[in-house]
Structure 1
């Protein structure tokens, strides 16, 4: 529903005695089932949007490969210091009202709406592509709230309604998690005995989540997601900077 599943699963792995890095890679491996469950459950929303989804999935996949290598070579503290700011910005983006696209046409026949939409769409294309690669890097490297950060980006770059781009986001994150898991399987240590119960839970949650999204008011969902993201950003800020 919200892209915040790791906020429960990652601390659970830490409580089970798994070290932070191994908990991260184990959680990433289990999250693959979340994307599979969401993809199966979201066939209605994804119908007619497969081309767009695969483009996003490819960009996130490339980012996921980069992020997984970064996790194995760069100290996590370097990245964790800016994570709270990423999540806070994502929360604000989701809560911020979207502007109307209405533009009047003047008497000369020039339609500023068409001109504005052309420039805006080109900008969105470039910015959105770069943002999705960065989200893939973040997902492969750290992962906490990567889904909600992607949701914030898609809320500003996608012309589709919330249930559609939320479904695309769920499946696209599968690419980053899969890419990272393949690399972690060879370069790190995945606690496979803990992957199974997590993966089963993610599969169920991924399948049920899109069905709940269909029933709840979209604005209410966005408010809940935005507020949770801001709370998470505050908690991570306190933890990171020892305030």
Structure 2
């Protein structure tokens, strides 16, 4: 591996680890970098999932204070994410590589759209919550665990096991709309669920999928650092700046993937 490739992959891992902890969609940084450096899309996806898993864990640990009192909620949601991740990984490995290369530009485009609309969704969630509290009076955190929430978390787990980009944004949108809880505490839950999906999918890929282990090692080191930074200082960074970088990189990745097929 050329030295500057290694530096670029590591820096992408740091940035992705930080973004995943704070917002989600770090894959939209690392996946395009790997593809641009010549890795096949499937190998880029599997290596990316394994490499970013340690960063997801470090980000979840960094949000441990927000997770206090949410043990029952996590116990309700974790099985859905775990089973969904297995289904998504199996789907990726069962379909021919051509099918993945065809659908991945659409998935990247979907992820970019979700990142763009996320602030509006968050604002709508907050307005809806305030209106409900005014009508019903202030209430404590919801227990969480309804069939609808768990079903949606399972489907997001399937998506995350197949292609990890923006699963964090999806989780925050679903939980923010359906659970009566602060967004910071939900972000802690999001980090745990994303970590489970990445670890489970990455474990499956490690045994049966094409993986570039040099890229995995560099991404792992970078994502661990990024995950810790995201938990400590990420909330001080401008969400607009983070979101702008994600959108620009995502659009560039989508264009590049489309051009590969022409």
CA distance in 2, matches of 1:225, 1:95: 16
Give the CA RMSD over aligned residues.
3.3
* Residues 1-243 of structure 1 mapped to structure 2, 5 A cutoff: 1-74=22-95, 75-77=99-101, 79-80=103-104, 82-83=106-107, 84-85=109-110, 87-89=112-114, 91-96=116-121, 97-98=123-124, 99-100=127-128, 101-102=130-131, 113=136, 125-215=146-236, 221=239
Contact 1:87 1:149 (C-alpha < 8 Å) held by counterparts = no
1:66 and 1:140 in contact (8 A); partners too: yes
Displacement of 1:22: 0.7
- The Cα shift of 1:212 comes to 2.3
- SS at structure 2 position matched to 1:46: coil
Supply the distance in 2 between the matched residues of 1:224 and 1:207 (Cα, whole angstroms): 19
Residue by residue over 1:27-74, the C-alpha shift from the partner in whole angstroms, topping out at 9 and shown as x without a partner, is 100121112111221111111123223332321111110000111122
Distance 1:38 1:18, change over 3 A: same
Structure exhibiting the larger radius of gyration computed from Cα positions? 1
Distance 1:140 1:95, change over 3 A: same
Is contact 1:41-1:207 (8 Å) kept?
yes
- Find the aligned partners of 2:163 and 2:133 in 1 and give their Cα distance: 45
Q: Distance in 2 between matches of 1:156 and 1:103?
A: 12
- Per-residue deviation, 1:11: 2.0
TM-superposed CA distance for 1:186, in Å, is 2.3
Give the length in aligned residue pairs.
228
TM-score scaled by structure 2? Answer: 0.72
Indicate the SS of the match to 2:65. Answer: helix
Moved more, 206-215 or 191-200: 206-215
Over 3 Å counting, the alpha-carbon distance change for 1:19 and 1:68 in structure 2 is same
Aligned to 1:109: none
Unaligned runs of 5+ in 2: 1-21
CA contact (8 A) 1:67 1:140 kept: yes
Query: For 1:31 and 1:129, how far apart are their aligned partners in 2?
Result: 24
